A = this chain, B = another copy of it.
Amino acid sequence: MFTEKLNKRIDAVDSMLCVGLDPDLKRLPEHISRDAAGVTAFCRAIVDTTAPYVCAFKPQIAYFAGAGLEKALEDTIAYIREKHPDIVVILDAKRGDIGSTAKQYAKEAFERYQADAVTLSPYMGFDTIEPYFAYEGRGVILLCRTSNPGGADIEELVTKDGDMVYERVAKLAAGPWNVNGQVGLVVGATQPAEIARVRALAPATPLLVPGIGAQGGDVDAAVAAGLDAEGRGMIINSSRAVIFAGQGEDFAQAAAQAAKTTRDAIRAAKTKARG
């Protein structure tokens, strides 16, 4: 079960840090070859050195698909599952399509790539989410309020009931759409007030929070806003600031150091928030 595995891992290593695996070919260390073997080796090295500090890894499928490197994604996730089976794997795919097509995307995420959870768009409604529940215990994490500049364009439209669109998504995800207890929400770290709002609407929902590090989110504010009653409930993602921390032969050690520093900042923020 996605949420149980997540909570167990968060407790085991006292970390809510997720490391995002976005192997941008333009930013890989120079000595790494720009092919499936190189990208897989890069990801494996990052995975091994950062593993002690994380609750989850989040491969971003676009970086693999853009370069035709699906094989590297398959191999990277298989490696995580073999060597670090307690760490949650979230496939960041943001898919969203009608039922018969959603079945294919669910197969992609859960059979082909063997992810524990997948990110999805809520735009097309519940029947585009439902097919993923056929995979028992797997998680779906719905886009809610994202941290990008245009995030407000649609997500913050105010409905006539007074809810913004993202608030409606939060209510649905915490309520009628949460058929298996394995539904999470994406809320950007750069909007602590909105994290707090989502937490109020969805008290027990795991929040995937991107935007720490390269995107400039404030860790203290985000953690204070998003912790659940048990002092967990957050998966705080850093991608580029960790995986591209170093450009030399010791890139994986530099990544580990960045991961440790970020984990410590999250831990400190949690201690502060819990008083």
Contacts and interface: CB of A to CB of B under 8 A. Distances in A.
B125 A152 contact: yes
Nearest to A145: B124
Given A98-B148, A122-B154, A160-B160, A104 B65 contact: yes
Interface residues of A, number: 55
A257 interface: no
A267 interface: no
A104 B159 contact: no
Interface in A137-163: 143, 146-155, 157-160, 162
A172 interface: yes
What number of copies of this chain does the assembly contain?
2
A128 B112 contact: no
Given A62-B97, A98-B148, A125-B149, 4 more contacts: A22-B101, A66-B103, A122-B154, A124-B151
Contact of A105 (B62, B104, B143, B152): B62
A70 B126 CA distance: 28
Contacts of A172: 153
Interface string A104-126: 11011001100000000111111
B121 A66 contact: no
B101 A125 contact: no
A154 B128 contact: no
A33 to B, nearest CB: 19
Interface in A1-45: 22, 24
Nearest to A103: B66
Interface centre among A66, A126, A143 (most CB of B within 10 A): A66
A8 to B, nearest CB: 29
B165 A153 contact: no
Interface string A83-105: 00000000000111111111111
